[in-house]
Chain A
Amino acid sequence: MILRYTFQRLLMLIPVSFSISVVIFMIVYLLPGDPIDNLLRVGSSPEDRAELVAQYGLDRNLVVQYFVWIGNMFQGEFGQAIVLRRPVADLVAQNLPYSLTLGGLAFLFSSTVGMALGTISAIVRHPLLDRFMRGFILLGSTVPGFWLALLLILFFSVNLGWFPVSGAGGWKSLVLPVLTIGFGGVALVARVTRVALLDAQREDFVTLLHAKGLSSRTILFRHLMPHALLPVVTILALRIGWILGGAVTVEFVFGRPGLGSLLIRALGQRDYPVVQACLLMLALAVMLGTLIGDVAQASMDPRIREKKS
């Protein structure tokens, strides 16, 4: 049953991917600016311009350009960066590991710490702790990453000297960026976990379990957690794409390479092939995240796969 559900979800990704690819392809043409202007020598003639436009295939019909582009994408051929003058695949391959490492660790941090804090705040009913948790969640959801990054640098790097201010050399350089990205995630996951657990605790079956004499711990871990995990999994899945793409400001402050930095640089130079490849990678991450979330939810809750299949 779950395989059939997964197959159906994969099929649904085809029209979604097509729509996204059209949007990504078109969006860069709607931007002001032109990569050819970055390549042209100042004072070049219109003929020089036309030659360069033809060289990069930008003189062809947009529909033709789209199908050539998408065809190349299917073959893993990302093309040549116009301004950065390197194969786009090389640029992505160079930057993706940094993004995956940072994003993966931030994801792990926000899910584990967020779920732990959410659970504690749901089961330990102490007014002070409850107030603290609410404050923490509010702060985590609203504090800007850029500002938090600078605060962390000032405290942990400048005052305590524990971690480097910036760079991408060794595990120490990962700690502050992971904390910066993860902080918002911790608050979000904690909030969702807390609400889900509190809702689950009000269900009739919990009263029955208590009446049957099960310990609170057993009820929590064996019966409540699977219930509460459903919305948490949805939120976590959606954050996969966000973490990869949303690390731009963090990469900027900490002077780290990554997909976000590459995208921003390419946007500034209107380097279409790089922008398109980066956007496509991020869109794929979001789609995959959603798919993983849906499949995980379906495997945890038979009602979902029955309703949707």
Chain B
Amino acid sequence: MRYSTKTQLLSGSAIVAAGLLFSTAAMAQNVSIAFSASELGATAYNPVAASTLNTATSLIYDRLVEQDADQSYHPHLATSWEETPDGMAWTFSLLEGVTFHDDTPFNAAAVQSWIASYAGTENEYLVEAIGSVDVIDDLTVRFNMDRPEPNLLYNLASAFMGIPSPTAFAELGDNFGVTAAVGTGPYELQSFEIGFETVLVRNEDYTWGSDLSENTGPGHIETFTFREIPDQSTAFLELRTGGIDLLLGVPTDFLAILEAEANIQIIQMPGVGISYMPINVTAPPFDNILVRQATGMAIDQEGIVAAIYNGVGAPAHNFLISSLPEADVDPDLNVTYNPARAGELLDEAGWVMGDDGVRVMGDERLSVSLYTANTTELTRLTQVVQAQLGEIGMEAIITVFDSSTIRDEYRNNAHQLAVRSYDWNNSDILDWFFSGNRLGYPNVSMWEDEEGQRLNDVAMTESSTSAERIANFTAYHEYVLSQHLFVPIYQPTQNIAFNATAISVPDPVRGSRFRGQSFMDIQVVE
């Protein structure tokens, strides 16, 4: 009897223990995510000073405002804002009851100290127009502007304008974002192994999500594990086998295979960048505008989208993504495929077709260098570009560099043509790549032009309203296009794939990118 009781007790304990284990397992919700290839290599979660940030940053830090997919702005840590008619002051009302992960309060003084911390950093341009910040009261700040800045809300919604705890920022110095990252976001940084893994754990006190998420309280998921998987094939196989639940940035090649998998769902969002071929205008024969124009006409954007990208994404015909109003330029300025006209332009420039299919001018062959970085997607695209240039009699010799060396080559003005890409959904990218102040890199086209710089300065600093800014940037964009400084090629889509048997993901996705606001609504499938 005694033995039987003991056995029953033991069995009962085992059942209770098993039940506890089971419930713990059910509660211990961990979602694994692989970063996209373009997000690999972040060295710190420091929005103020870092030049590369990944998606996890948007969960650690909140921003004053958020931008939706339709480019509209929504309140977040700022509940409302008001701009004076002359654009010289912005007043922001701040959300009450918000605390940083280190339990210090978020208030007007924190905003003042945060804006000041950008001085001397790579990201200073984001707050360049702000002359000073006044603390009106604990929850109200005023930005006194040196000049009107119609792009201010865009800047404030950027990942680089996540708000760190001023206390932790000051205490940790250069280690901020490396050994610890303290924001007000829905998740706290638990561990960060550079180049390998970032683990975020839920901020249980979080009650201030933006209206871009259905869930404005603590996240549904207990921990998010973000992994850096350098090989795209491995990341793809991890998703197929359930090793990860979500893959940010699925290569276009893998879409068809993933679509055939019953448990995988794919979300496609409009892209935020383009692939293009900058032309070095200082390197002969490209110092001749006719040769540059002909080069642009050699590239068959539609053919490339169909052949390389299986029709996913869109051809690019100018420098900006098509959702930006400044991309709506005079159609005659768009770069389009016209090999016959390209041949005529080269003839006009004195390059006549040689016996071996390569054009010549006297003894000189039309042979040029074509640089690219060592990523699979870019090298493949470069090979197609090489073949298309060959069709108009231009021999392009490809050289592949690592990302550090290629920038050095640009700075040393050693290049002629290059194939590269960018990710940015604002027209100020034109300033980044074409300003005469940044020759070599990022101004790979090495373009210095008085009228161009004037239009750039007007667009960047002399626009008072949003409409004026659009008009100024459109004018600058059109002038850049008229100089044939680059060849636009391709506008990719953002492809996100997830294991639908493991998690549910909000549909439609709010925001211009798949980041913090969407992660708040991710749930484990029962």
Which residues of A are found within 8 Å of B432, using beta-carbon distances? 42
In the bound assembly, the distance between CA atoms of A270 and B402 in angstroms comes to 11
Report 29 cross-chain contacts, Cβ distance below 8 Å, ordered by A residue: A33-B408, A34-B408, A37-B404, A41-B121, A42-B122, A42-B441, A43-B438, A83-B43, A84-B194, A85-B43, A85-B174, A153-B237, A157-B237, A157-B241, A164-B238, A165-B234, A165-B237, A166-B227, A166-B229, A252-B231, A255-B227, A255-B228, A255-B229, A255-B235, A257-B193, A261-B196, A262-B195, A268-B404, A270-B404
Query: Is B230 within 8 A of A33, CB to CB?
Result: no
Mark B112-148 against chain A: 1 for CB-CB distance below 8 A, else 0.
Answer: 0000000001101000000000000000000000000
Please judge, given known A-B contacts A165-B243, A268-B404, whether A153 and B411 are in contact too, CB under 8 Å.
no
Which residues of B are found within 8 Å of A210, using beta-carbon distances? none
Which residues of A are found within 8 Å of B403, using beta-carbon distances? 268
A110 within 8 A of B: no
Query: Is A168 within 8 A of B196, CB to CB?
Result: yes
Which residues of B are found within 8 Å of A164, using beta-carbon distances? 238, 241, 243
CB distance from B156 to the nearest CB of A (A): 21
Which residues of A are found within 8 Å of B442, using beta-carbon distances? 42
Query: Is B404 within 8 A of A38, CB to CB?
Result: yes
Query: Is A86 within 8 A of B194, CB to CB?
Result: yes
Interface residues of B in 400-452 (CB under 8 A from A): 402-405, 407-409, 411, 432, 435, 437-438, 441-442
Which residues of B are found within 8 Å of A37, using beta-carbon distances? 404, 407-408, 411
B41 within 8 A of A: yes
In the bound assembly, the distance between CA atoms of A261 and B193 in angstroms comes to 12
CB distance from A48 to the nearest CB of B (A): 9
B44 within 8 A of A: yes
Interface residues of A in 133-165 (CB under 8 A from B): 150, 153-154, 157-158, 161, 164-165
Which residues of A are found within 8 Å of B241, using beta-carbon distances? 157-158, 161, 164-165
B240 within 8 A of A: yes
Interface residues of B in 364-423 (CB under 8 A from A): 402-405, 407-409, 411
Query: Is B44 within 8 A of A158, CB to CB?
Result: no
Query: Is A255 within 8 A of B231, CB to CB?
Result: yes
B233 within 8 A of A: yes
CB distance from B414 to the nearest CB of A (A): 10
B178 within 8 A of A: yes
Q: Of B44, B124, B193, B195, which is in contact with the most chain A CB atoms at under 10 Å from its CB?
A: B195
Interface bracket on B: 35 or more
Mark A164-194 against chain B: 1 for CB-CB distance below 8 A, else 0.
Answer: 1111100000000000000000000000000
Query: Is B441 within 8 A of A167, CB to CB?
Result: no
Query: Is B178 within 8 A of A94, CB to CB?
Result: no
Which residues of B are found within 8 Å of A256, using beta-carbon distances? 196
In the bound assembly, the distance between CA atoms of A10 and B294 in angstroms comes to 67
A32 within 8 A of B: yes
Size of interface on A: residues with Cβ below 8 Å to B: 38
In the bound assembly, the distance between CA atoms of A109 and B435 in angstroms comes to 58
Q: Of B124, B193, B230, which is in contact with the most chain A CB atoms at under 10 Å from its CB?
A: B230
In the bound assembly, the distance between CA atoms of A168 and B174 in angstroms comes to 28
In the bound assembly, the distance between CA atoms of A105 and B227 in angstroms comes to 24
Which residues of A are found within 8 Å of B121, using beta-carbon distances? 41
A6 within 8 A of B: no
Which residues of A are found within 8 Å of B243, using beta-carbon distances? 164-167
In the bound assembly, the distance between CA atoms of A175 and B87 in angstroms comes to 62
Which residues of A are found within 8 Å of B122, using beta-carbon distances? 41-42
Query: Is A32 within 8 A of B405, CB to CB?
Result: yes
Q: Identify 20 new A-B residue pairs, CB closer than 8 A, beyond the known A85-B43, A164-B241.
A: A32-B405, A33-B407, A33-B408, A37-B407, A37-B411, A42-B122, A42-B441, A42-B442, A86-B178, A91-B194, A153-B237, A166-B229, A166-B234, A166-B235, A166-B237, A166-B243, A255-B234, A255-B235, A267-B402, A268-B402
Identify the closest chain B residue to A262 (Cβ): B195
Query: Is B227 within 8 A of A265, CB to CB?
Result: no
CB distance from B512 to the nearest CB of A (A): 23
In the bound assembly, the distance between CA atoms of A256 and B41 in angstroms comes to 14
Q: Of B44, B238, B403, B404, which is in contact with the most chain A CB atoms at under 10 Å from its CB?
A: B404
Query: Is B238 within 8 A of A43, CB to CB?
Result: no
A254 within 8 A of B: yes
Which residues of B are found within 8 Å of A166, using beta-carbon distances? 227, 229, 234-235, 237-238, 243
Interface residues of A in 21-69 (CB under 8 A from B): 32-34, 37-38, 41-43
Which residues of B are found within 8 Å of A83, using beta-carbon distances? 43
In the bound assembly, the distance between CA atoms of A257 and B238 in angstroms comes to 17
Please judge, given known A-B contacts A91-B194, A164-B243, A255-B231, whether A269 and B404 are in contact too, CB under 8 Å.
yes
Which residues of B are found within 8 Å of A268, using beta-carbon distances? 402-404
In the bound assembly, the distance between CA atoms of A167 and B240 in angstroms comes to 15
Query: Is B405 within 8 A of A33, CB to CB?
Result: yes
